[in-house]
Chains A and B, each alone.
Chain A
């Protein structure tokens, strides 16, 4: 149960920060997603994001910042295992599932559905 409460709180905080940025700055959705992903990469290599996941469970892995963390952890793991080539192969080893799923499901849904007429 504690995991779900912490998930709600941590996930909520990441979303509330995005809302503040939307309201108070000129940032658009793409800026926020890019900032979050790069932020995830940096927090991950510093070992900070691992601790946030220990606290926030899916509240830390579901926001797009967690995808940045997955990219970085994959890169580090492949560098440890394979050396320099890991710099190039590591990111998509760990975070590739999400990219592949977005491409496949995104394409299928765009084929299946038609845009709703704007009211």
Chain B
């Protein structure tokens, strides 16, 4: 076997490595993500039209239902299979947020209920909540000031 330099190796690697096709991946993400959102729309219709819940609360109930399903399917090991197929399609819907909580909690379960399950639940959800809440408070404060000046 002949020796090859690092540079040659890198070139060879770039040629031979399996390239994820962007178009196929996008199509999968689009379809799976679209379908998950349609399921949410169906729950929303059931809550508003069949059960007669107000729009705002129905939206919250819909989120909670989708989070429950995402968490359950992650526990059953099904959501990770969907994720391998769909990529961004299963990540972005709120079910993916539930998945990002349950998945590390399960993985580190053997480290105990405090430092394993409870702490690892926040590996991804923590940053999302920190940035989400902080930005809404900062923008909210600016909104408050601007409103005070204008009124």
Determine the interface band of chain A, counting residues with CB < 8 A from chain B.
Answer: 35 or more
- Chain B interface category by residue count: 35 or more
Q: Does A52 contact B (CB under 8 A)?
A: no
Q: How many angstroms between the C-alpha atoms of A13 and B59 in the bound complex? A: 21
Identify whether the interface residues of A are mostly helix, strand, loop, or mixed.
helix
Q: Is the interface of B mostly helix, strand, loop or mixed?
A: helix
* Contact call B29/A72, Cβ cutoff below 8 A: no
Indicate if A34 sits at the interface (CB-CB under 8 A).
yes
CA distance A106 to B36 in the complex (A): 19
Number of A-B contacts (CB under 8 A): 271
Contacting pair B40 A75 (CB below 8 A): no
| A58 interfacial contact with B, CB 8 Å | yes
**B76 interfacial by beta-carbon distance below 8 Å:** yes
Give which listed residue, A24, A62, A86, contacts B22 with CB less than 8 A. A24
A83 to chain B, nearest CB (A): 8
Q: Which 9 A-B pairs have the closest CB atoms?
A: A15-B33, A11-B37, A18-B88, A12-B34, A19-B88, A58-B41, A113-B75, A110-B105, A8-B34
Contacts from A to B (Cβ < 8 Å): 3-4, 7-24, 29-30, 32-34, 36-38, 40-42, 45, 57-59, 61-68, 70-72, 74-76, 79, 83-84, 86-88, 90-92, 94-95, 97-99, 101-103, 105-116
